């Protein structure tokens, strides 16, 4: 358990991708089975302990320490696992430190009624870093800056294999992954792909900002609209149907209406959207009603039906099409989608153009508000996993911008837990002579480390009220911090007091120079809706 705790501590404190990759590879190479396999499962979201909840841990801690002290400590630290691990009274250390596999086995079998006593005994046996790791493990929120993809890349480094080979095996593997590690270390055969309807690694595009269009022949590329949903892969093979996110997570349970319509033999790449493709395509705000749910109500299925707007074909009628050219795949895809249920599947239209200037004009003036740009694909390109240089480019619309005022701040998580790094911004509303600020968006990135320190200092020096972990920041006609917010789109929302929801807001730049009364008004955003 201490080795896993040490790994998490070092990952949190290591900012570089390559540094994290080395830490992961060393851990998998030096820790024995089955502990390394359970560490792998924890890092990739493959463990679930329903008996352990954050509320239970808070109650458990206040039984050991003063509740006011805990509340102040939690407010200052900003992370539950870190707070509990530091404030928990040291145990008697009568027992040895448990192995990670023992902890996983215990938490997997514990009942909800026994969980408090089991967690208390476990925390008593561990050091502060061990407690931190145990709580992160039990609650499933590691937040150590490591994606499942990076973890799989570390496995590929360990075994000297292509990460795509691991991706294609992944959904047929189960913790503690002993067969996988044996293969990677040359001690066993490659595991058979036991998963039916497996995920295939997707092909990704480079931003058009990296492109010198003067060096490219427009005739060599096809263009199609890029829709504002989430990228998915629909796989139906041998009677098994699965819907995957672009990172390979199985999200079938959240979208049974689409999975039910996948009566075919294929693996299709496309965009998940809300609505009926024959009549209406909903906004990303509509799609958010369906995201991150383990189950979906009948009312939700009726009010927010989903469909797939197809981009590409990986498998058609058991035939692997990935080595074919884009134009050949597109022809097969068009014929194939024509025979699928029209309420659940359609195909993203191509965009005819002769010059880059003509395509740029269409990119900036798309025919539908849910379009966020265009995709450029070489007509002769094969479907290659990863992000190969040259075949595909994404050319998104320029972002919207608005000047808004900082009104609330909250502590971040992980390495940002000591800083106020999650911000709520508002714009002016009401009469010109007596306006008020209404919240219009939240942002927690888009600034440098130095700017983060500046904003954090500003929040601390200008706090006017507290609401639990949230600080209200002084913001009136004569005093406040203005920032330029960039965002991809905007739509009406009944969930927000302003009646408006931003898509993908982030801080574009700090406007220390701008008087707060010159920040934008709600009418500016309402005009963008039209």
Residue spans of the domains in the chain: they are 2-139, 206-396, 400-529
3-state class of 308 per DSSP?
A: strand
Residue 447 CB contacts under 8 Å (≥ 6 apart), including other chains: 455, 507, 510
Average pLDDT of the segment spanning 148-163: 93
Give residue 336's pLDDT band: very low, low, confident or very high (50, 70, 90).
very high
pLDDT of residue 415: 67
- Name the CATH superfamily, with its identifier, for domain 400-529: Nucleic acid-binding proteins (2.40.50.140)
Top pLDDT among 499 and 327 is at: 327
514 CB-contact burial (10 Å; exposed 0-12 / middle 13-18 / buried 19+): middle
Strand pairing class (392-396; 371-378): antiparallel
Q: How many CB atoms lie within 10 A of CB 160?
A: 8
- If you average pLDDT over residues 155-159, what whole number do you get? 95
Contact 372, 226 (CB under 8 A): yes
Helix (H) or strand (E) holding 40: helix 35-43
Indicate the helix (H) or strand (E) that contains 361.
helix 356-364
Tokens of 323: 């080595």
pLDDT at 367 over 70: yes
For residue 92, the model assigns a pLDDT of 55
Per-residue pLDDT, averaged over 226-231, amounts to 93
Side-chain half-sphere CA neighbours of 325 within 13 A: 9
The whole-number pLDDT of residue 94 equals 56
Query: For residue 166, is pLDDT > 70?
Result: yes
Q: Which percentage of the chain shows pLDDT scores above 70?
A: 98
Output the CATH code of domain 206-396.
3.30.470.30
Helix (H) / strand (E) containing 209: none
For helices 2-13 and 17-30, what crossing angle results, to 10°?
170
Q: What is the mean pLDDT of residues 378-390?
A: 92
Specify the pLDDT at position 230. 93
Say how many residues make up the chain.
530
* High-pLDDT (> 90) share of the chain, %: 64
Q: What is the mean pLDDT of the chain?
A: 90
pLDDT for residue 414: 64
- In DSSP terms, 411 is beta-bridged to 420
Q: In sequence order, what are the residues at sequence separation of 6 or more whose Cβ sits closer than 8 angstroms to the Cβ of residue 28?
A: 36, 39, 40, 154, 155, 158, 181
**Mean local confidence (pLDDT), 62-86:** 88
Please list the residues that pair with 371 across neighbouring strands: 227
Query: Which has the minimum average pLDDT: 169-178, 417-426, 488-497?
Result: 488-497
Question: Residue 398's pLDDT is what?
Answer: 81
How many whole angstroms separate alpha carbon 221 and alpha carbon 223?
7
CA distance 349 to 353: 13
Cα–Cα distance between 276 and 10 in angstroms, integer? 48
pLDDT beyond 80 at 495: no
- Residue 178 in this model has a pLDDT that exceeds 70: yes
Is there a contact between 220 and 327 (Cβ–Cβ < 8 Å)? no
Lowest mean pLDDT among 10-24, 48-62, 192-206, 306-320: 192-206
99 closest CA partner among 146, 47, 31, 45: 31
Collapse the DSSP code of 292 into the 3-class scheme (helix H, G, I; strand E, B; otherwise coil) and give the result: coil
Helix pair angle (115-125, 54-62), 10° resolution? 70
Does the domain spanning 2-139 belong to CATH 3.40.50.720? no
* Lookup: tokens for 58: 């808070």
Would you say residue 503 has pLDDT above 90? no
**Most confident region among 143-147, 234-238, 443-447, 501-505 by mean pLDDT:** 234-238
Q: Minimal CA–CA distance to 122: which of 210, 40, 49?
A: 49
pLDDT of residue 13: 84
Q: Which two tokens stand for residue 151?
A: 């973890």
Domains 2-139 and 400-529 share a fold: no
375 strand-pairing partners: 224, 394
pLDDT at 99: 94
């Amino acid at each position: 358990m201490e080795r896993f705790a040490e790994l998490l501590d070092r990952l949190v404190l290591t900012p570089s991708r390559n540094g994290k990759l080395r830490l992961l590879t060393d851990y998998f190479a030096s820790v024995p089975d089955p502990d390394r396999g359970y560490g792998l499962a924890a890092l990739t979201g493959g463990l679930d302990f329903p008996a352990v909840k954050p509320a239970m841990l808070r109650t458990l801690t206040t039984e050991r320490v003063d509740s006011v002290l805990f509340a102040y400590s939690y407010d200052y630290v900003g992370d539950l696992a870190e707070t509990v691990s530091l404030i928990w009274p040291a145990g008697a250390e009568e027992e040895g430190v448990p192995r990670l596999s023992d902890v996983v086995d215990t938490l997997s079998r514990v009942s909800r009624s026994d969980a408090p006593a089991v967690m208390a005994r476990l925390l008593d046996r561990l050091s502060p870093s061990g407690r931190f790791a145990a709580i992160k493990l039990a609650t499933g929120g590691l937040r150590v800056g490591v994606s499942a993809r990076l973890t799989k890349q570390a496995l590929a480094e360990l075994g000297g294999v292509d990460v795509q080979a691991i991706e294609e095996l992944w959904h047929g593997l189960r913790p503690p992954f002993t067969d996988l590690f044996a293969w990677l270390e040359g001690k066993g055969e490659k595991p058979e792909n036991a998963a039916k309807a497996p995920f295939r690694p997707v092909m990704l595009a480079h931003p058009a900002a990296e492109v010198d269009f003067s060096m490219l022949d427009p005739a060599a590329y096809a263009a199609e609209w890029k829709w504002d949903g989430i990228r998915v892969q629909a796989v139906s093979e041998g009677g098994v149907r699965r819907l995957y996110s672009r990172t390979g997570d199985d999200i079938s349970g959240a979208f049974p209406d689409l999975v039910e319509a996948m009566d075919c033999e294929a693996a299709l790449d496309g965009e998940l959207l809300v609505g009926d493709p024959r009549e209406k395509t909903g906004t990303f705000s509509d799609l958010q009603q369906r995201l991150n749910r383990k189950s979906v109500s009948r009312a939700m299925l009726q009010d927010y039906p989903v469909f797939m707007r197809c981009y590409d074909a990986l498998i058609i009628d058991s035939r692997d099409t990935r080595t074919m050219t884009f134009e050949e795949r597109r022809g097969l895809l068009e014929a194939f989608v024509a025979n699928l249920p029209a309420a659940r599947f359609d195909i993203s239209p191509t965009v005819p153009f002769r010059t880059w200037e003509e395509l740029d004009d269409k990119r900036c003036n798309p025919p539908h508000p849910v379009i966020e740009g265009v995709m450029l694909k070489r007509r002769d390109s094969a479907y290659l996993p990863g992000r190969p240089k040259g075949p595909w480019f994404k050319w998104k619309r320029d972002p919207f911008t608005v000047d808004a005022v900082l009104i609330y701040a909250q502590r971040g998580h992980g390495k940002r837990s000591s800083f106020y790094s999650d911000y709520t911004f508002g714009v002016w509303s009401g009469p010109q002579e007596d306006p008020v600020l209404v919240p219009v968006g939240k942002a927690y990135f888009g600034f440098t480390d130095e700017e983060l320190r500046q904003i954090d200092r500003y929040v601390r020096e200008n706090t006017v009220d507290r609401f639990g972990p949230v600080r209200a920041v002084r913001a009136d006609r004569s005093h406040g911090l203005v920032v330029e917010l960039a965002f991809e789109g905007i739509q009406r929302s009944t969930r927000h007091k302003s009646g408006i929801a931003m898509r993908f807001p982030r801080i574009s730049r700090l406007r220390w120079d701008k008087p707060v009364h010159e920040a934008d008004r709600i009418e500016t955003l309402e005009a963008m809706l039209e």
